[in-house]
Amino acid sequence: MKRIYLDHNATTPLREEVAEAMSKILFSEFGNPTSTHEEGARARTHVETSRERVAQCLGAKSAEIIFTAGASESNNTVLATLLDPELPRRGLITSTVEHPSILEPARQLEKAGVPVTWIPVDRDGRVSPERVFEAADRGPALVSLIWANNETGVLQPIQEIAAGLEHRGIPLHVDATQTVGKCPVDLQSTPIAYLSCSAHKLNGPKGTGCLVARGHSPVHPLLLGGPQERRRRGGTENVAGIVGFGLACQLAHVELSERIKAYSELRDHLWQSLSERIGGLRRNGTSEHVLPNTLNLQFAGAAGEVMVQALDLEGIAVSMGAACHSGSVSPSHVLTEMGLSSEEARSSLRLSVGQGLTLDDISRAAESIARVARRAQEASAA
């Protein structure tokens, strides 16, 4: 029987046309984009065409796109700029519900003596713009916020925060890894200094992404040793990955409104089918400001880990939150920061839909999830 993959926030299946474009590069365009001969020039053309596609999808200029090995690298690169002793201002403002690729470098910055202000979230999973502005008035070097949370799908009020920070002259970095391809992102109308995103979250390949550094926003390369990416990221480019990323962005841009509609329909059908079958099912985070593809649900009294394993055996892939949390015993920091108890967090699952799913798949998944939840609830009550 067809497996039903409900973990599109962990990663997405590669689109067929993206795989084909990449395989053409791998087989016939092996040149190094830095080489000056014809093979190199052809590879360079592919990289630059892809840069334009990514830029267009995000409303950026192509010179502002720095290709990286994914959003973790992009996030680390931005935070590393704060170690520069010559910066006119010091300090970082970030939230307590960031992805580990922000949390961990932010903790390293703290250890290195850079002041970090941690903004909490409310029960809905959102930061208050006023709290960000209050902290920003103390004059930090950077504010870094996740746009859409990978575990709950909750969207932060980035437009409002970006406008308020522009007014104060404080640069904003946005981790838009889960947002691109699922919500409109237009850097022309949103004053963001840096943006991180990743190809594999929008049906592109793993190990490729970009950092957008707008205007003259400074970038201190993490990888030194080459002239690539205008000296902002050394190392021979992953040409096939970049081509896949460019095409995935182009497709996401063209298909955005139909994707939003299709994902919302699948997600709403899943929520409805589950809430009809499971009494007292709770949704974690706001249902108003949320990605069209994500549900984070609390199955009171059921052990999430047990459910993940049982569903896997029934052919359904779900997770307890971030991919890196799967298999770990500690409850999700995102959920506990929202005020859930450890027990509530441990009984929560993330269900994220995407391409390749039908409403029938969702109905079948809902039946299994309801059955498995009942069993898990009974087992923990026994």
Ligand X SMILES: Cc1ncc(COP(=O)(O)O)c(C=O)c1O
DSSP symbols for 92-158: EEEETT--HHHHHHHHHHHHTT--EEEEP--TTS---HHHHHHHHTT--SEEEEESB-TTT-BBP-H
| CB of 71 or CB of 297, closer to ligand X | 71
From the CB of 71, what's the least distance to ligand X, in Å?
A: 3
The stretch near ligand X (CB under 6 A) out of 172-180, 212-220, 327-335, 357-365 is 172-180
What is the β-pairing status of strands 65-68 and 209-213?
antiparallel
Identified binder of ligand X from the candidate list 33, 70, 153, 331, rule CB under 6 A: 70
Question: Can residue 209 be called a binding residue for ligand X (CB under 6 A)?
Answer: yes
| CB of 311 or CB of 322, closer to ligand X | 322
From the CB of 41, what's the least distance to ligand X, in Å?
A: 29
The stretch near ligand X (CB under 6 A) out of 19-27, 65-73, 279-287, 326-334 is 65-73
**Residue 378: is it exposed, middle or buried by C-beta count within 10 angstroms (0-12/13-18/19+)?**
exposed
Identified binder of ligand X from the candidate list 76, 94, 150, 298, rule CB under 6 A: 150
**Are 106 and 98 within 8 A, CB to CB?**
yes
Question: Can residue 76 be called a binding residue for ligand X (CB under 6 A)?
Answer: no
From the CB of 152, what's the least distance to ligand X, in Å?
A: 11
From the CB of 201, what's the least distance to ligand X, in Å?
A: 7
**Applying CB under 6 A, what is the total number of residues that bind ligand X?**
12
From the CB of 18, what's the least distance to ligand X, in Å?
A: 16
Identified binder of ligand X from the candidate list 71, 162, 213, 316, rule CB under 6 A: 71
| CB of 72 or CB of 332, closer to ligand X | 72
Question: Can residue 364 be called a binding residue for ligand X (CB under 6 A)?
Answer: no
Cα 24 to Cα 43, 50, 65, 205: the distances in Å are 12, 14, 23, 14
What is the β-pairing status of strands 194-198 and 209-213?
antiparallel
Q: Helices marked H in the chain — which ranges? A: 16-28, 38-58, 71-80, 100-111, 129-136, 158-168, 228-231, 239-277, 304-313, 333-337, 342-346, 359-381
Question: Can residue 319 be called a binding residue for ligand X (CB under 6 A)?
Answer: no
Question: Can residue 99 be called a binding residue for ligand X (CB under 6 A)?
Answer: yes
The stretch near ligand X (CB under 6 A) out of 56-64, 70-78, 137-145, 352-360 is 70-78
**Are 46 and 29 within 8 A, CB to CB?**
yes
324 in active site: yes
Chain-centroid distance of CA 175 in Å reads 7
**Are 210 and 245 within 8 A, CB to CB?**
yes
Question: Can residue 178 be called a binding residue for ligand X (CB under 6 A)?
Answer: yes
From the CB of 293, what's the least distance to ligand X, in Å?
A: 13
Question: Can residue 177 be called a binding residue for ligand X (CB under 6 A)?
Answer: yes
Of 132, 246, 129, 136, nearest to 197 by C-alpha is 246
Residue of minimal Cβ distance to ligand X: 70
The stretch near ligand X (CB under 6 A) out of 35-43, 132-140, 171-179, 231-239 is 171-179
| CB of 91 or CB of 209, closer to ligand X | 209
Cα 182 to Cα 10, 253, 293: the distances in Å are 14, 10, 8
Q: Which of these is catalytic: 183, 197, 249, 324?
A: 324
Element (H, E) at 349: strand 348-352
Binding mask 246-285 for ligand X (x = CB under 6 A): ----------------------------------------
Spatial distance between the Cα atoms of 152 and 287, rounded to a whole number of angstroms: 10
| Chain residues in the site for ligand X (CB under 6 A) | 70-72, 99, 101, 146, 150, 175, 177-178, 198, 209
Active-site residues, by number, are: 324
